[in-house]
Structures are given as structure tokens and as C-alpha cells.
Amino acid sequence: MARPHDTALELRASALQCLVEPDPVAKTGGVAALVEAARGGRLTVDPGAGFAEPAAIPGRPARPELVPPRLVGRRSMATVEGRAMLVHALAHIEFNAVNLALDAVWRFAGMPDAYYRDWLRVAGEEALHFKLLAGHLQTLGHAYGDFPGHDSLWEMVAKTGGDVLARMALVPRTMEARGLDAIPPLRAKLAQAGDPAAARILDVLLGDEVGHVEIGNRWYFYLCKQRGLEPVATYDDLTVRYKAPVLKGPFNVEGRRAAGFTEAELARYALDALPAGV
């Protein structure tokens, strides 16, 4: 893979190259190189380029084994093993989130330059999250791949590959937005279990995930306006058409507000909100 000191890189082709890379270290390193190239002005974007989809998407390591969500296992906070299982599950989500951001970059032609650079930013931050969690997992005596994982996030990425509007609606503002709700109580449990280092990592995740969901919201509303669609009714239609998971509370209403959800949408969550301070 070209390094950031080389001649200018084209972002979408480079994102696809990172996406098919199976090794987590090489994948996250490639993403970091793209972020560095963007900061140095050595990254171009060709929004009109078309690409044949490779067979091996996304690139993944041989482990973890992928199983249905119900078979991933219990995650008790009472033991180091239980905390390791939780940290592993979070690392797996972040690894998939790197892939989904890279897929959003290469797959959808004809979007503004800022769209592709937004999703590169997401990929870079998700790669950092994965590295933080994988590193903490090692302090608990385990490595990424030691426990099984599930594929729910990538399954929705695959289902929405034909329409960028559906992708923005159902991946960042549905699947990823669930993290806004889940992280605060998980953070509290890890802190209570005596793992302040993991709690601090989740603080980083929550702050960044608000921005990632905001990016999804912003481009979703952009596309609705471009196509002359009413956002709330369109979202409801897409959740039915693509069989998106039914959202369950409690909801982080303040986090969702910061991430750009409308007051009309937030009103749906207000009666099942997270308690203040969680």
C-alpha cells in the first residue's frame, strides 16, 4: 500500500484497498496513512470513479469466529474474563465500524468531496478506537479473536449497498446510534468493576461516536433534500423496507440531540430516556 510520503493518493481507490485488507494491524495502519495523507494535502478524490466489487469484502482475519448474536456469550463484570469478553465485543464492533466507513467512501459515486473526507475521518477514529480496545484487551490477558463475534453491523452495510440514502439512514443513524445509548451504562459498569482504563476508552468512543452519527445524519438530510423526500417518513419507510432492527431504550436523548437528530425524532425517545448522569 502506498505510504503518505509517496505521490498523491486517490481516496476512494485507497479506501477499497484498505477495506479488503484482512489483517487488523495492516488495515488500521493503512487508514492512518490515508488520514496523514489527507492532512498533508496529498489525497485526491475522484467522485465519478467506478469500481468492480471484489469478492473478499470486507477483509477480515480468520478469527474471531462469527456466530449469531445470542451465541456470543455472557459478559459478567464480576471477573476479568467477563470484562475481557465485553472489551472484545466492543473491539469487534469498532473493527466492523472501520470497514463500514471505508465502504461508505469507495462504494458511492457522485457525492460531494466533503462526504468522502467525512467518512475518512470516521474510518480514522474507528481505527484508533479498535487499537485502544485491542491494546486494553491484551492487559486483560487476551487478544482480538479470542472470543466469538457477531456480524449484525456488517449485515446492514451489505443490505444497503445499492443506495447511499438507505446506507446513511440505517447504518450511522440506526446501528451506530445504538452505541450512543449503550456506551454510558457500559462505561458505568466498567468503572464500578474497577476498570478505569476501559472506562476512559469508552469516554473517547462516546465523544467520537456523537460526531460519526452527526455525519450520518447530515448526509441523510442532504440526500433527502436532494431527492425531495420528507426525512422522518422516509426513515420509517426505509426501516420497514430493509428490515432494520427495532430500536429499544433506554435512549441517550442528549447524545442523539448532539448528533443531529431532529426534535420530532427525539420526541419518540423522550419517554424512555437514560437517567441523567448515566
pTM of the shown model? 0.94
User: For the chain, percent helix, then strand, then coil, each to nearest 5?
Assistant: 65, 5, 30
Three cell numbers at 44? 485526491
Q: What's the average model confidence in pLDDT over 103-131? A: 98
Is 78 in contact with 193 (CB distance < 8 Å)?
yes
Q: Distance from CA of residue 69 to its chain's centroid?
A: 17
- Compute φ and ψ for 251, nearest 5 degrees: -105, 145
pLDDT at 278: 66
The C-alpha angle 146, 95, 89, rounded to 5 degrees, equals 45
**To the nearest whole number, what is the mean pLDDT of the chain?**
93
pLDDT at 73: 73
Beta bridge partners of 149: 66
> Nearest to residue 127, comparing CAs of 102, 152, 149, 154?
102
Q: What's the average model confidence in pLDDT over 35-43? A: 96
The position carrying cell 469466529 is 65
In the three-class reduction of DSSP (H, G, I as helix; E, B as strand; rest coil), residue 43 is classed as strand
Q: Which residue has the higher pLDDT, 226 or 151?
A: 226
Q: What's the average model confidence in pLDDT over 63-86? A: 86
Q: Which residue has the higher pLDDT, 248 or 97?
A: 97
pLDDT-based confidence at residue 4 (cuts at 50, 70, 90): very low
CA 103/CA 49 separation, integer angstroms: 14
Q: In the chain, where do the E strands start and end?
A: 9-10, 43-44
CA 235/CA 219 separation, integer angstroms: 13
The count of other CB atoms within 10 Å of the CB of residue 243 is 10
Q: Which amino acid type is present at position 236?
A: D
Q: Is the pLDDT of residue 6 over 60?
A: no
Least reliable range by pLDDT among 69-78, 117-126, 181-190, 208-217 = 69-78
pLDDT at 2: 44
Q: What's the average model confidence in pLDDT over 222-237? A: 97
CA 267/CA 141 separation, integer angstroms: 44
Q: What's the average model confidence in pLDDT over 156-168? A: 97
pLDDT at 208: 97
pLDDT at 33: 97
The CATH topology of domain 9-46+67-272 is: Ferritin (1.20.1260)
pLDDT at 276: 65
DSSP 8-state class, residue 274? P
* Domain boundaries along the sequence of the chain: 9-46+67-272
CA 76/CA 84 separation, integer angstroms: 9
pLDDT-based confidence at residue 277 (cuts at 50, 70, 90): low
CA 25/CA 142 separation, integer angstroms: 16
